[in-house]
Amino acid sequence: MRKGQNPAKFAKTVAKPERITVAVLNYIPFLSGFYSEALDVLKVSLETMRNDPGLPFDLMIFDNGSCPEVRDWLIGEKESGRIQYLVLSEKNMGKGGAWNIILAGAPGEIIAYADSDILYYPGWLTRSVELLETFPKVGMVTARPFRTNPEYHSSTREWAQQNAALEEGQFIPWENFWEFNRSLGQDEAENRKVYTETQDWQISHQGKKAMVGASHWQFVAYKSTLAQFLPFDMDKPMGQVKQLDQRMNAAGYLRLMVSDPLVMNLSNTTDYVKGVYAGKQPAPKQASLVKRLVQAAPIKKALLAVYDQIFKWYYS
């Protein structure tokens, strides 16, 4: 027999979630090698995210099977009130599996999704939501302009040709173009060639300008829109995430970017942040003979295969 009455019955109100949920997917399996600075990167990301986003939000983090040190830090952040929703997965479900939970379970009307290695600038959220609410049938808005595959934003350009002012040209300065691609470990000479041979598209609509394109690594979208593309059935942890970009374009949704950089990819190091605080980007280092040797295509392919197999033995 029940003893007494549940005190919750006498509660008159319940907490309401913010309209916007910022949802971050995190995966740090260990704190060495490639991931030696990953926790520091995550800390910088969350700190800059909260620094003048322009709009209130709740923070949701889905941890995809990280090591105990990272989980303990996240739990501490949750207990301190800096994370509103924390999901700790026992195993790495891959990005598709995590998206199925994040995009369906985030309580906000608007979801601002990001990988865990993003650097944010003031106003990043306000500017993104402005485009989301100004343009019709927006699928996703990324808070940085960069060049994406035109095949993934054909619907956006078709809409703009009929309903807005669409311009073609070199709207992204070389410095911004190279800043982003450099963070991905790409070659400068090759990027200069790509920069001169490709172009940008810019849309003007109701007093707002947006760049054409968006990407799955950081975006703002309506939860109701994202629900149309669930579930994601990906058989690999990475490499298939462009399904979201492709599905949105095929469904006729607009994929947009803000006109100036309001987020930046940090990858697996805080070197960029240190360079920014010093007033400059870190200077590229001259690769050693050994480094140049292991970057040779046949050797690199063999070594990465060995690395991949060792990783599977320990973490599969």
**Could you read off the pLDDT of 248-264 as tens digits, one per residue?**
999 999 999 999 999 99
**Could you read off the pLDDT of 60-70 as tens digits, one per residue?**
999 999 999 99
**Could you read off the pLDDT of 263-299 as tens digits, one per residue?**
999 988 888 887 665 554 444 444 455 555 655 566 6
Domain 20-265 sits in which CATH superfamily?
Spore Coat Polysaccharide Biosynthesis Protein SpsA; Chain A (3.90.550.10)
**Could you read off the pLDDT of 88-147 as tens digits, one per residue?**
999 999 888 999 999 999 999 999 999 999 999 999 999 999 999 999 999 999 999 999
Query: Could you state, in order of their start, the residue ranges of all structural domains in the chain?
Result: 20-265, 288-316
The pLDDT of residue 101: 95
**Could you read off the pLDDT of 147-204 as tens digits, one per residue?**
989 999 999 999 999 999 999 999 999 999 999 998 888 889 999 999 999 999 999 9
For the chain, first and last CA: distance in Å?
A: 47
The pLDDT of residue 282: 46
Q: Residue 1's pLDDT band (boundaries 50, 70, 90)?
A: confident
